[in-house]
């Protein structure tokens, strides 16, 4: 019997969720919800699921086992908590939420209800990402020295004008960092471990009528002592595939979207050259660099498959709520460092200033 998925929010990213669910073994899309009945009806007609414009009615549907949240970033909390209270497992699109208080409220609700919570970070499921993680964990890079993430994307003014929530603090939670670069920031934290200190500059340079940054640069210090740089922009025409680069005393690795572009170690193995050749041309989409729709759904599918397997086996998913919270915390620290012009230390838990820009309750 497949597990029934329901999608909350019927916008662009919900279409990718639907395709991923369809491709997941042991899963079936059974319902969708939108506060606008016509939106729910249109999505249901496209996907063959049941449409709801009443969230509680959808959550009462016994066919629904898992709820995926595809609302704007600053509106993840309420439907996620409602789903948890209804006894449904919860998947939340990135970011988990836009403040730590709201992230923690989702995590706490799921813990209290005894349901599984997972956060959408499909890049972790790419073959290239997992190979790099294995190399780091095996110590092939030696002492880690540098960890950098570069997300030089482009978004038109029409992109921001297309939705009233885009580019706002209350619902987008930030700009190039919180909306676009968060995937690479998550990878950087996964590869390098926690950040303990950050300095930053942010700016809005090439867009109008938005409250948030379209360009950001941060320098970070990891708990290991390694240093790093994060660059993020939606104002870098025509947009480039995102890159993550790691360096250590015994090796260097780099990935460009899903391609491994560097794989060099002081202690080589026979498989290294073959792996580099195999992984040098894995990217099959535009990676969202210039068009947010130009992405694949295979990372989502692998995440959903992990979630289904976790539920059936009674284990935690590979990316849970705590993992989803980490990237939000670092991005908030970058914003704080840019605002104050001072170095910010992490962790930030309990800092009331972090909720100042949101509708946090």
| Residue 201, helix vs strand vs coil | strand
Q: Say which residues have a Cβ less than 8 Å from residue 34's Cβ, sequence separation at least 6.
A: 9, 10, 40, 43, 51, 53
pLDDT digits (tens, 9 = 90+) for 224-279: 999 999 999 999 999 999 999 999 999 999 999 999 999 999 999 999 999 999 99
Low pLDDT (below 50) residues in the chain: 351-361
Instruction: Return the bridge partners of 197, or none.
Output: 221, 345
Residue 211 and residue 169: Cα distance in Å, rounded? 7
CATH architecture classification, 123-290: 2-Layer Sandwich (3.30)
What is the model's pLDDT at position 299?
94
Q: What are phi and psi of 249, to 5 degrees?
A: -65, -20
What is the model's pLDDT at position 359?
37
Domain ranges of the chain: 3-121+299-318, 123-290
What is the DSSP track for 14-68?
Answer: HHHHHHHHHTSTTEEEEEEE-SSHHHHHHHHHHHT-EEES-HHHHHT-TT--EEE
What is the model's pLDDT at position 296?
83
What is the model's pLDDT at position 289?
86
- For the domain spanning 3-121+299-318, the CATH number is 3.40.50.720
Residue 255 and residue 150: Cα distance in Å, rounded? 11
Strands 259-265 and 27-33 come out as unpaired
- What is the separation, in whole angstroms, between the first and last Cα of the chain? 39
Residue 338 and residue 340: Cα distance in Å, rounded? 6
pLDDT digits (tens, 9 = 90+) for 108-135: 999 999 999 999 999 999 999 999 999 9
Helices marked H in the chain = 12-22, 37-47, 55-59, 77-85, 100-113, 127-137, 157-161, 182-192, 270-279, 298-313, 321-340
| Residue 320, helix vs strand vs coil | strand
Contact, 190 vs 309, CB < 8 A?
no
């Amino acid at each position: 019997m497949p597990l029934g998925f329901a999608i909350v929010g019927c916008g662009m990213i919900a279409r990718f969720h639907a395709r991923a669910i369809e491709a997941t073994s042991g899963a079936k899309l059974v319902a969708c919800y939108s506060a606008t009945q016509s939106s729910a009806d249109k999505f249901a007609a496209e996907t063959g699921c049941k449409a709801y414009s009443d969230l509680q009615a959808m959550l009462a549907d016994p066919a629904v086992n898992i709820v995926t949240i595809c609302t704007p970033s600053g509106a993840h909390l309420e439907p996620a908590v409602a789903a948890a209270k209804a006894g449904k497992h919860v998947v939340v699109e990135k970011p988990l939420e836009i403040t730590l208080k709201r992230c923690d409220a989702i995590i706490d609700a799921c813990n209290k209800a005894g349901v599984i919570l997972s956060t959408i970070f499909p890049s972790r499921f790419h073959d290239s990402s997992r190979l790099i993680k294995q190399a780091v964990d095996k110590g092939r890079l030696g002492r880690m020295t540098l960890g950098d993430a570069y997300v030089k994307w482009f978004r038109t003014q029409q992109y921001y004008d297309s939705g009233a929530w885009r580019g706002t603090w209350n619902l987008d939670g930030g700009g190039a960092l919180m909306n676009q670069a968060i995937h690479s920031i998550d990878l950087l934290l996964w590869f390098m471990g926690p950040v303990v200190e950050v300095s930053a500059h942010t700016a809005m340079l090439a867009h109008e009528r938005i409250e948030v940054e379209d360009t950001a640069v941060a320098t970070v210090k990891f708990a290991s002592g390694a240093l790093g740089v994060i660059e993020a922009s939606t104002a870098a025409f025509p947009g480039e595939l995102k890159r993550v680069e790691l360096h250590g005393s015994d090796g260097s690795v780099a990935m460009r979207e899903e391609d491994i572009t560097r794989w060099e170690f002081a202690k080589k193995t026979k498989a290294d050259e073959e792996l580099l050749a195999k992984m040098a041309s894995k990217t099959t989409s535009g990676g969202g660099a210039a068009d947010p729709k130009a992405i694949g759904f295979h990372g989502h599918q692998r995440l959903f498959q992990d979630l289904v397997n976790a539920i059936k086996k009674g284990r935690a998913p590979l990316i849970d709520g705590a993992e989803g919270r980490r990237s939000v915390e670092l991005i908030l620290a970058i914003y704080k460092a840019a605002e104050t012009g001072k170095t910010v230390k992490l962790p930030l838990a309990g800092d009331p200033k972090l909720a100042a820009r949101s509708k946090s309750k």
